[in-house]
Structure 1
Amino acid sequence: MTSVLFDFSDPRSVALWNPINDRVMGGVSHSQLRNDPAGHALFCGHVSFENNGGFASVRCQPGDFGKKEVIAYLLEVCGDGKRYKLNLRTDEGFDGVVYQVGFIPPTGQWATCRLASADFLPSWRGRPVPDAAPLDTSCVRQIGLMIADRQAGPFGLAVRSIATESA
């Protein structure tokens, strides 16, 4: 069963998302999630290594995004050749453990990227947290998109929707 968490054909859906970039540690990267008149959202900006930077992200406002028995997260996206991450947080805090999985969507064409729940790995400030519990999808409170991994320069990921797939 599929359940849509975010349908970005509604221009108001991007209002729930805020940038969190390397500026929190002195960097100069920038990003935003904005509505595209073509009927989707665009996660875009510029990643810079200046001042020890190197990442850009957006995160939705905390809410109840938890679903039991989620086997995968489905992103309908159109890529630019870069690698992105889907971030999930199981609390409402700004900092702490985040569960991440990377994906590279096809360049210039729409596709659904299926990210298995079991593939999300816990990290804190970019470092693995091996003793953290596995992702409990029923506790998800925040969802985010990120670009990092030494990918400097402009980027743009078009997003139509984010959904869950349950058993």
Structure 2
Amino acid sequence: MTLGFYLAMQFPDVGRLWQTVTYFEALPLVACLQRTLGHNPPPATVMPQGEIMMDLSQPTGVDLWGALDDVVMGGMSRSSLVADPAGARFEGMVTTQNNGGFASVRTRNLEPPLDLSGTTGLTLRVRGDGKRYKLLVRDSSSWDSLAYGAQFDTQPATWITVKIPFADLVPVFRAKTVPSAPPMVLTQVISLQLMLSKFAYDGQINPTFQPGDFRLQISTIGTYTDAPFPTL
């Protein structure tokens, strides 16, 4: 059995797998080769404006994100983040074919990392399709690393503001909770990821999951800070 035949059997869409690996510089050897050849993407830099971290109604906000679908485990789901003046559209098709079942978009590692200390949590202005999605946040630059996640529900064709307190984020690794993990380092937020998955955590099924087309529109991602209780 040749290497090419083996890869084709394990990863039916090898082309998309390669695009994912190179975009996120997931393999050290590939990343080194890209830098040597001058093919590495520009730094993923975010310039927060007040409480707004990312304005996804602007093309520059969309440019930071890339698709990270179940193709990395042999699946056949597809997604993209499409620029739209009303808010970028995370859309595509999710399928459980070939043991898949998730689609996502993720930022490249942010340079410099975001310092979100002093804030209470994240806000997302979204218009969805009634499905339950995940937000994943990482404080490590490693490709396959611990993440801190939260699930949120959407309303069909309705703009809503989702508030996610940092205190509610659950440490997870490949959709399994890690109770022993330390709290997230808020001074070092490296990347963000939005996901539609068949699974919640620890093998539990996402109750709103259905194979097929999906769409989540995102206008802004920001932070919020709860006002302290007044002192007497």
- Could you state the TM-score of these two structures normalised by the residue count of structure 2? 0.68
Q: Bigger relative contact order, structure 1 or 2, given CA contacts below 8 A and separation 6+? A: 1
Tell me which structure has the larger Cα radius of gyration.
2
Instruction: Give the alignment partner of residue 5 of structure 1, picking from 46, 53, 62.
Output: 53
Residues 61-106 of structure 1 show CA distances to partners (whole Å, capped at 9, x for unaligned) of 1112231122110000001010001110001121010110000122
Greater strand share, 1 or 2? Answer: 1
Q: Does 1:158 align with 2:217?
A: yes
Any conservation in 2 of the 1:19–1:58 contact (CA below 8 Å)? yes
For 1:129, the aligned partner's letter is V
RMSD: 1.3
Checking the alignment, whether the CA contact within 8 Å between 1:29 and 1:53 is kept in structure 2 is yes
Question: Among residues 30, 48, 66, which one is paired with 2:95 in the alignment?
Answer: 48
Specify which of 184, 187, 210 is matched with residue 135 of structure 1: 184
CA contact (8 A) 1:69 1:138 kept: no
Give the 3-state SS of the residue equivalent to 1:23 in structure 2: helix
* 1:116 CA displacement: 1.0
Stretches of structure 1 that go unaligned for 5 or more consecutive residues are none
Q: Which residue of 1 aligns with 2:81?
A: 33
Runs of 4+ that moved beyond 6 A: none
Q: Which runs of no fewer than 5 residues in structure 2 stay unpaired?
A: 1-49, 200-205, 227-232
Percent identity over the alignment?
36
TM-score, normalization by structure 1: 0.93
Aligned length: 165
Which stretch of the first structure deviates more once superposed, 47-56 or 58-67?
Answer: 58-67
Whole-angstrom distance in 2 between the partners of 1:118 and 1:72: 8
Q: After superposing the two structures, state which structure 1 stretch, 85-94 or 63-72, moved more.
A: 63-72
SS where residue 93 of structure 1 aligns?
Answer: coil
Cα pair 1:118 1:135 within 8 Å, conserved: no
C-alpha separation in 1, matches of 2:188 and 2:170:
15
Distance 2:108 2:51 in 1: 19
Q: Partner residue of 1:89?
A: 138
Which of 57, 65, 76 is the equivalent residue of 1:17? 65
* Distance in 2 between residues matched to 1:62 and 1:154, nearest whole Å: 28
Which letter does structure 1 place at the counterpart of 2:108?
Answer: Q
